[in-house]
């Protein structure tokens, strides 16, 4: 369990014990008979269970397309950076590579075609708006007839117009786990099908794969953070489908990097638990509520000396 959660629970327990202790709310001893019974005020402790906390965390940061599961990289990923000084770009790429490898995501060699393209600009909203106009069908809505490609219109509007220091657009696609075939029919494609190899199909054959992520960094708006902090933030939005609009200030996450007084130095325990759960999941459709449950189990195991490792089955 994250030390912050342990400390919070311990503090609440201590407060409850102090409040309930005999004489904790007694009047001054000079005016009260010590043998008289003391009436204590009602003690109310308000908190959330670990299950509730993890469920809220996953709900607020995850952004899978409607009726689909959480997507991840199921093949080696290629990172690319444009419009930054060489030293800064190399530092970012080194940190992104290290973060990907930490969670078991293979990284392609230099010179590859970027799957995650990070573009720096001094005008985030203006550049993003022009980029959408110029590349709408190519980058943002590939396959005019395909269903649930990319994210909803509200997210696209946020990408175009917000003042966020970092904005992103993610494409994920349902994929056959055995053949790697994309299970969305694009215009001109033949009908998609799944070959059944046995009468009993105990597990689903469809998973959700991240395919392409575009990230725009407003260098002026992001100038107050370190390169390492920015790298951790970019790693989070490069390795998982992250909600670009939701309020995350109630959670311990690097996604609060640009929120006042809530800037972590890097990926938090919660961020790492989420990404670990995502990339340790079985190869199939990944449900958000299951990730929350597994995160709670992992936090509990970590809080116990020599806690047992969880098998995600």
Model confidence over 174-201: pLDDT tens digits?
888 777 666 564 555 544 555 555 554 5
Q: For residue 173, what pLDDT is reported?
A: 87
pTM: predicted TM-score of the whole model, two decimal places: 0.76
Q: For residue 15, what pLDDT is reported?
A: 35
State the Cα–Cα distance between residues 156 and 128, nearest whole angstrom. Answer: 10
Q: For residue 301, what pLDDT is reported?
A: 83
Query: Taking the CA of residue 197 as centre, how many other CA atoms within 13 Å lie in the half-sphere pointing to its CB?
Result: 6
The end-to-end CA distance of the chain, in Å, is: 21
Tokens representing 214 are 């575009």
State the Cα–Cα distance between residues 150 and 135, nearest whole angstrom. Answer: 14
Model confidence over 26-50: pLDDT tens digits?
334 344 454 555 554 554 434 468 9
Mean pLDDT of all residues in 143-169? 80
How big is the chain by its Cα radius of gyration, in Å? 24
- Evaluate whether residue 35 is within a structural domain: no
Mean pLDDT of all residues in 238-257? 95
The mean of the pLDDT values for the chain is 79
Type and span of the H or E element at 171:
strand 166-176
Number of domains in the chain: 1
Give residue 11's Cα distance to chain centre.
28
Provide the residue range defining the domain that includes 117: 50-185+203-303
State the Cα–Cα distance between residues 299 and 53, nearest whole angstrom. Answer: 11
- Evaluate whether residue 195 is within a structural domain: no
- Evaluate whether residue 256 is within a structural domain: yes
Q: Which residues pair with 176 in a beta bridge?
A: 206
* Percent of all residues in the chain with a pLDDT value above 70, rounded to a whole number: 70
- Evaluate whether residue 23 is within a structural domain: no
Residue pair 207/286 in contact (Cβ under 8 Å)? The answer is yes
State the Cα–Cα distance between residues 246 and 307, nearest whole angstrom. Answer: 33
- Evaluate whether residue 20 is within a structural domain: no
255 pLDDT band (50/70/90 cuts)?
very high
Dihedral angle at the C-alpha atoms of 67, 72, 78, 81, nearest 10 degrees?
Answer: 70
DSSP character for 43?
A: P
Residue 1 has pLDDT above 70, yes or no: no
Backbone phi, then psi, for 198, in 5-degree steps?
-150, 160
- Evaluate whether residue 250 is within a structural domain: yes
Residue pair 97/76 in contact (Cβ under 8 Å)? The answer is no
Which ranges of 21-163 does DSSP label H, i.e. alpha helix? 50-61, 86-102, 124-135, 153-161
- Evaluate whether residue 162 is within a structural domain: yes
17 pLDDT band (50/70/90 cuts)?
very low
State the Cα–Cα distance between residues 63 and 271, nearest whole angstrom. Answer: 15
- Evaluate whether residue 234 is within a structural domain: yes
Residue pair 147/184 in contact (Cβ under 8 Å)? The answer is yes
State the Cα–Cα distance between residues 265 and 21, nearest whole angstrom. Answer: 39
121 pLDDT band (50/70/90 cuts)?
very high
């Amino acid at each position: 369990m994250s030390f912050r959660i342990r400390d919070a629970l311990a503090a609440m327990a201590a407060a409850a014990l102090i409040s309930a202790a005999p004489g904790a709310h007694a009047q001054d001893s000079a005016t009260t008979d010590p043998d008289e019974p003391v009436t204590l005020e009602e003690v109310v402790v308000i908190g959330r269970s670990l299950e509730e906390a993890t469920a809220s965390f996953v709900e607020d940061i995850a952004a899978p397309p409607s009726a689909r599961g959480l997507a991840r990289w199921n093949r080696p990923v290629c990172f690319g950076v444009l419009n930054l000084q060489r030293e800064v770009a190399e530092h970012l790429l080194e940190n992104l590579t290290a973060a990907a490898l930490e969670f078991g995501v293979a990284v392609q060699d230099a010179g590859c075609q970027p799957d995650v393209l990070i573009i720096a600009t001094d005008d985030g909203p203006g550049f993003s708006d022009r980029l959408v106009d110029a590349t709408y069908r190519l980058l943002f809505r590939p396959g005019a007839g395909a269903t649930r490609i990319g994210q909803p219109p509200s997210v696209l509007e946020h990408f175009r117009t917000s003042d966020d220091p970092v904005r992103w657009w993610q494409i994920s696609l349902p994929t056959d786990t055995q053949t790697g075939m994309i299970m969305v029919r694009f215009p001109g494609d033949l009908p998609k099908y799944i070959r059944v190899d046995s009468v009993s199909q105990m597990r689903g054959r469809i998973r959700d794969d991240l395919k392409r992520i575009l990230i725009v960094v407003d260098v002026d708006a992001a100038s107050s953070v370190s390169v390492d902090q920015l790298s951790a933030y970019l790693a989070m939005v490069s390795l998982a489908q992250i909600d670009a609009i939701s309020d995350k200030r109630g959670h311990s996450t690097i996604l609060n990097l640009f929120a006042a007084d809530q800037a972590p130095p890097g990926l938090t325990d919660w961020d790492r638990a989420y990404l670990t759960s995502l990339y340790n999941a079985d190869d199939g459709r990944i449900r958000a509520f299951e990730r929350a449950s597994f995160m709670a189990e992992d936090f509990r195991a970590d809080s116990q000396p020599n806690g047992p490792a969880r098998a995600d089955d």
